[in-house]
Amino acid sequence: MLNSPQDHHAAAGESLKTDASRCHALLSLRAALICATLCWVVFAVLAGLMLSGRYADLDNLGLLLFRSSVGLELRGPSWAADMTRDITALGGVMLRHLLAASAVAMLLLFGMRRQAAILFVTISSGWMIGALLKLGFARPRPTNVSHLMGVEGYSFPSGHSFNAAVVYISLAVVLGTLSPRANVRRALVATGIAISILVSLSRVMLGVHYPSDVLAGWIAGAGWALLASAWLSMVSIRSS
């Protein structure tokens, strides 16, 4: 007897739910915790160096690297500034949270409540942690080059860099658990890392952050996202 299209759709949905319940984690629990700890140790070192002022000259040189010697304009063609602002928008509040909310909704629609909860908690808590860090360090923004877009708030760590790392790496890690193929999971995480690095770089190019701001922000954000990977590993262990 031939199965109806409805039967095929139902079977596909059940298969997807079954695969999701297996929760294929990219890293083991131990590896994820070690990597997350290393990220936060590096962040602490960078924060200490920033407070000591030891790499102020390097920060200034990093800002000037993307500016012309005449007028301190952004190097490159006339459309470079617009393209850089488009890239930085990927780390903005509206777009990154719209993507995250869409992913959470999709996971819930497919009955993947654990993955949805992990993604929601990681991103929402990361947003709060990043905001508290900025308030705690209260570093003024760069003044030696012009800002190529409007900004508010403090400089260290970069909120765009921190949250882009949290959102895009967490998205990649969580969605990657749906595939049993390790190369698919690695490709997703590599894509998330690449997008978050581009966002971080754009903040320096626009003159709104020092290089140390974006480096520290990205490392701390990656460390927070790795905690999501550790959580997923715990879920994988319990479901196996």
Mean pLDDT of the region 138-148: 87
Contact 17, 112 (CB under 8 A): yes
pLDDT at 34: 87
pLDDT in tens, 50-81: 988 888 888 888 888 888 777 777 887 888 88
Identify the residue whose tokens are 């890293």: 27
* 111 domain residue, yes or no: yes
* Eight-state DSSP code of residue 50: H
CA dihedral 65, 69, 71, 76 (to 10 degrees): -60
Predicted TM-score of the model (pTM): 0.82
- Rounded to a whole number of angstroms, the distance between the first and last alpha carbons of the chain is 35
pLDDT at 182: 78
pLDDT in tens, 173-221: 888 777 778 788 889 989 999 999 999 999 998 989 999 999 999 999 9
Contact 198, 90 (CB under 8 A): yes
* 11 domain residue, yes or no: no
Identify the residue whose tokens are 């590096």: 42
* Eight-state DSSP code of residue 112: -
pLDDT of 239 higher than 80: no
Task: Report the C-alpha gap between 190 and 229 in whole angstroms.
Answer: 14
Q: What are phi and psi of 74, to 5 degrees?
A: -65, 130
pLDDT at 157: 93
* 14 domain residue, yes or no: no
pLDDT in tens, 73-123: 788 788 888 889 999 999 888 888 899 999 999 889 888 888 888 888 888
* 3 domain residue, yes or no: no
* 58 domain residue, yes or no: yes
Please count the structural domains in the chain: 1
- 222 is in which domain, residue-wise? 25-64+79-239
pLDDT of 17 higher than 60: no
Task: Report the C-alpha gap between 210 and 214 in whole angstroms.
Answer: 7
* 18 domain residue, yes or no: no
pLDDT at 13: 46
* 196 domain residue, yes or no: yes
CA angle 92, 115, 105 (to 5 degrees): 60
* 60 domain residue, yes or no: yes
